[in-house]
């Protein structure tokens, strides 16, 4: 497997575009994205577990009931959620896209992100559709920019891998900075591949991967209404279609996981107001489920996040988060270390503090990427979760997000 350029356009047969249509007031910011496959593709998606769901998710779920799609259209600046006409607007976005591309509107995945509870006027989308389709090309970055809201960095990656004796490619883009605490999906993530894989195996691969990647990310503990991860696989690599588990499916899973882990880290590191990416690694749990519960509890702890912002080696906050996680853990066996590119330091052993250099700990925690290493010494279960520090700017950003 090899990292390559191109994002969602790396795979054969995929093009993308991103333009400013006028949903967002700032004309310098793109707000409408399109990803297109030359041929119909196998499609799979997972969605937020929030009972309040954006209208685009309802429409997309219906469209993907046959496991096929050919295009993805997404706007930023308005979530099209909690609106009486939301379904009609999402369907109209699909109709406009299908008409412009000459494909069945039911083969269009639709997504929206932005402010909740404000009606989405489809007029600027309709007006910009010819420009958007005309701009289709090797423009993954433009599409990635167009789906951003409070993000400060574009998030994309692509890899190549071997399956069925053919070179396949898989790439993705994502948006996500705040309102990140997923369940079954996360933020908005769009993945493309030219690998031939049956829809049921594609859904299995995505759902399995998401449980270990996007479901293990938290920025602020808020599960969004519009979270969705969608993947299209058009088969243009020419490999023997993957219809069951085996070496080719394993290779596909490895490629998928490489891209999704990268996007997880990018999303967590770009959390609203964040200055540091936090990665919590839990080992020695009785089960993987326990390890995941503990890792997520630590990453979600506001006190731990604040301590990391201040480069304060306050390991007691980590122990506290483990204690209220609701997991079967013997706290008297817990070890905690902090690590970064400046080194690693043990701060807690067997559930109690140890002598350590506060100066070295400070130096370690001042780095932009921090590892919180937890050993439970009760089994072989392990898990990784990603998050970020909690800063003053998070409140500033969300204090006037709507206005």
Query: What pLDDT digit, counting tens, does each position of 128-168 carry?
Result: 999 999 999 999 999 999 999 989 999 999 999 999 999 99
One domain for residues 243 and 289? no
Candidates 149, 186, 230, 391; catalytic one? 186
- pLDDT for 34 equals 98
Residue 339, φ and ψ in degrees, nearest 5: -145, 155
pLDDT tens for 307-355 read: 999 999 999 999 999 999 999 999 999 999 999 999 999 999 999 999 9
Express each pLDDT in 211-263 by its tens digit: 999 999 998 887 888 899 999 999 999 999 999 999 999 999 999 999 999 99
Q: Is 186 a catalytic residue?
A: yes
Instruction: Report whether pLDDT(372) > 70.
Output: yes
Residues 287, 262 share a domain: no
* Proportion of the chain above pLDDT 70, given as a percent: 99
Same domain, 153 and 181: yes
**pLDDT value at residue 28:** 83
What whole-number percentage of the chain has pLDDT above 90? 89
Checking if the pLDDT of 401 tops 90, the result is no
Statement to judge: residues 245 and 114 lie in one domain: yes
Contact between 195 and 252 under an 8 Å Cβ cutoff? The reply is: yes
Residues 237 and 306 in one domain: no
Domain that holds residue 16: 2-269
Whole-model pTM above 0.85? yes
Same domain assignment for residues 91 and 169:
yes
CB-CB contact of 182 with 215 (8 Å): yes
- Do both 328 and 244 map to the same domain? no
How high is the mean pLDDT of the chain? 95
Which has more pLDDT, 55 or 26? 55
CATH number at residue 390: 3.10.20.340
The predicted structure's pLDDT at residue 186:
57
Q: Residue for token digits 């920025």?
A: 219
Number of domains observed in the structure of the chain: 2
Whether 302 and 258 map to the same domain: the answer is no
19/134 same-domain check: yes
Q: CA 305, CA 315: separation in Å to the nearest integer? A: 11
């Amino acid at each position: 497997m090899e990292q390559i350029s191109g994002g969602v356009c790396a795979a054969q047969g995929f093009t993308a575009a991103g333009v400013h249509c006028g949903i967002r007031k700032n004309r310098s910011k793109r707000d409408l994205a399109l990803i297109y496959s030359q041929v119909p593709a196998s499609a799979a998606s997972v969605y937020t577990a929030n009972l309040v769901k954006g209208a685009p998710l309802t429409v997309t779920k219906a469209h993907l009931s046959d496991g096929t799609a050919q295009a993805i259209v997404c706007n930023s600046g308005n979530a099209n959620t909690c609106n009486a006409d939301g379904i009609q607007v999402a369907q109209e976005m699909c109709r406009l896209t299908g008409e412009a591309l000459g494909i069945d509107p039911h083969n269009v995945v639709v997504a929206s992100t932005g402010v909740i509870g404000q009606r989405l006027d489809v007029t600027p989308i309709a007006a910009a559709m010819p420009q958007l389709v005309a701009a289709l090309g090797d423009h993954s970055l433009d599409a990635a920019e167009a789906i951003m809201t409070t993000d400060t960095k574009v998030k994309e990656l692509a890899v190549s891998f071997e399956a069925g004796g053919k070179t396949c490619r898989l790439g993705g883009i994502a948006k996500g900075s705040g309102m990140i605490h997923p369940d079954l999906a996360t933020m908005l993530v769009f993945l493309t591949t030219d690998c031939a894989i049956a829809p049921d195996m594609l859904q299995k691969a995505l759902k399995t991967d998401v449980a270990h990647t996007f479901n293990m990310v938290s920025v602020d503990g808020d599960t969004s209404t519009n979270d969705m991860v969608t993947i299209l696989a058009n088969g243009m690599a020419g490999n023997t279609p993957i219809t069951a588990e085996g070496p080719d499916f394993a290779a596909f899973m490895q490629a998928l996981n490489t891209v999704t882990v990268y996007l997880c880290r990018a999303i967590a590191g770009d959390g609203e107001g964040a200055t540091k990416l936090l990665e919590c690694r839990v080992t020695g749990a009785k089960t993987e489920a326990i390890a995941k519960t503990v890792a997520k509890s630590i990453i979600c702890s506001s006190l731990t996040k604040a301590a990391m912002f201040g480069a304060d080696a306050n390991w007691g906050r980590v122990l506290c988060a483990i204690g209220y996680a609701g997991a079967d853990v013997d706290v008297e066996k817990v070890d905690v270390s902090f690590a970064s590119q400046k080194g690693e330091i043990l701060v807690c052993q067997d559930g109690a503090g140890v002598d350590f250099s506060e100066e070295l700990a400070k130096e370690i925690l001042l780095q932009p990427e921090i590892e919180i290493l937890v050993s439970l010494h009760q089994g072989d279960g392990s898990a990784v979760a990603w998050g970020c520090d909690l800063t003053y700017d998070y409140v500033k950003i969300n204090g006037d997000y709507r206005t």
